[in-house]
Chains A and B, each alone.
Chain A
Amino acid sequence: NAGVMQNPRHLVRRRGQEARLRCSPMKGHSHVYWYRQLPEEGLKFMVYLQKENIIDESGMPKERFSAEFPKEGPSILRIQQVVRGDSAAYFCASSPPNPKNIQYFGAGTRLSVL
């Protein structure tokens, strides 16, 4: 059973470009969470999704950021018109429907904005 897969592992973008981060949850997991982490800082919650639904996006900036978890395929975190301040590690986690409390994390995507 493969773990949570995130790609790419490293992503370099120039200011103004779009960044697309992908997350394939563990098999059988229908809940996906996205977090952002700056160096030497804690995990900052961004968004929680279930298949085809956004449950909680309270941690996600209203502008330029969007997330989806379609019926088929991976979850996508999309950042439009990236700025230098978007540079961070973005982690995805998944959990099973029941119990849905333990989260299994991917290795993260490190976004660098030049």
Chain B
Amino acid sequence: SQKIEQNSEALNIQEGKTATLTCNYTNYSPAYLQWYRQDPGRGPVFLLLIRENEKEKRKERLKVTFDTTLKQSLFHITASQPADSATYLCALEGTSGGYQKVTFGTGTKLQVIP
């Protein structure tokens, strides 16, 4: 069956360091993968999308990699700040019920310690 795995344990990191979050998947052949941020009490917010033919995508302090051989995406936040503390969700597209369905992982909670 299709599965998306994100580390369910919270990631605690010191301010200024690089945070790296992992998204692994099985039985998907996604054309693209997305990352979202969710703050407590709020809806997720789209951050980045990376296509299967792109190895890496950057946006300001964010970097996403996508390895379709390893079936893994890494999400990096460089020079992390306390304001980066949130839950980060990866989302994958897969064919389901005749349409391209986006499915979300359960998310990893990031805590940046001042």
Binding site for B on A (CB under 8 A): 4, 35, 41-43, 45, 48, 55-56, 58, 91, 93, 100-108
- CB 8 Å contact bits of B31-47 with A (1 = contact, 0 = none): 01010000001111110
Q: Which chain B residues lie closer than 8 Å to A48 at the CB level?
A: 99, 101
B104 on interface, CB distance cutoff 8 Å = yes
Q: Which chain B residues lie closer than 8 Å to A41 at the CB level?
A: 106
Are A101 and B43 in contact (CB-based, < 8 A)? Answer: no
| A35 to B42 alpha-carbon distance, docked (Å) | 13
Chain B residue total in the interface (Cβ 8 A): 23
| A34 to B45 alpha-carbon distance, docked (Å) | 15
Q: Which of A42, A45, A100, A106 contacts B43 (CB 8 A)?
A: A106
Q: Which chain A residues lie closer than 8 Å to B26 at the CB level?
A: none
Q: Which chain B residues lie closer than 8 Å to A103 at the CB level?
A: 44, 46, 91, 102
Are A105 and B93 in contact (CB-based, < 8 A)? Answer: no
Min CB distance B66 to A, Å, is 14
| A107 to B100 alpha-carbon distance, docked (Å) | 25
Q: List 23 A-B contacts (CB under 8 A).
A: A4-B43, A42-B89, A42-B106, A42-B107, A43-B104, A45-B101, A45-B103, A45-B104, A55-B99, A56-B96, A56-B101, A58-B97, A91-B43, A91-B44, A93-B43, A93-B44, A101-B49, A101-B102, A102-B46, A103-B46, A104-B46, A105-B44, A107-B42
